Amino acid sequence: MAIINWLFARRESGRFMLRMDDTDPERSEQVYRDAIQQDLRWMDLEWDQYERQSDRLWAYEAAAERLKKSGRLYPAYETPEELGAKRKAQLARGVPPLYDRAALSLTNEQRAALEASGRKPHWRFKIDTAATIEWDDLIHGPISFEAAQLSDPVLIREDGRPLYSFSSVVDDNE
């Protein structure tokens, strides 16, 4: 992917940014960052800018607060085991394993009780399921699909760390 992005940036008189998606410390060791840089240099792909997402946590926190205030980011409390059981049951019924939005029906008291019991929420982005998602892809042309085919994605883990999909969108938007 780096080659395509580097070529596109150069063709469009743009800048090629090397962004290290390192918000997951278990998967983001220095040895991996060094190897990526070494491989890019070996291919003679120099970058114009270097960023580490772990240095931009403030930007993701600010974006999350905006989404929470707008009602688009909501807390969900299911454990991985509970979510797995829901997916398994949906698949057994022959339906796609989409999140059922159970967290949206929790009352403030129920959320408080879950948190008092030690549960910490992960945060999901509320998709407008009535919408059609459309865009013009530079390679494939027009693409569209119904938002109802998607689950509300998790953007922030229980420990408060943003997922790659969230932090990358915030970065790309800037």
Looking at the structure, tell me whether residues 75 and 155 fall in a common domain: yes
Which CATH number fits the domain that encloses residue 152? 3.90.800.10
List all residues 6 or more positions away from 51 whose beta carbon is below 8 Å from its beta carbon.
Answer: 17, 18, 19, 20, 171
Residue 24 pLDDT > 90, yes or no?
A: no
Looking at the structure, tell me whether residues 38 and 122 fall in a common domain: no
Q: pLDDT (tens digit, 9 = 90+) per residue, 54-101?
A: 999 999 999 999 999 999 999 999 999 999 999 999 999 999 999 999
Residue 147: CB atoms within 10 Å:
12
Would the pTM of this model clear 0.85, i.e. be above it? yes
Which CATH number fits the domain that encloses residue 44? 3.40.50.620
Question: Where a domain ends, among 24, 39, 55?
Answer: 55
Tell me the residue range of the domain where 12 lies.
1-55
The per-residue pLDDT for 23 is 87
Looking at the structure, tell me whether residues 117 and 73 fall in a common domain: yes
State how many domains the chain has: 2
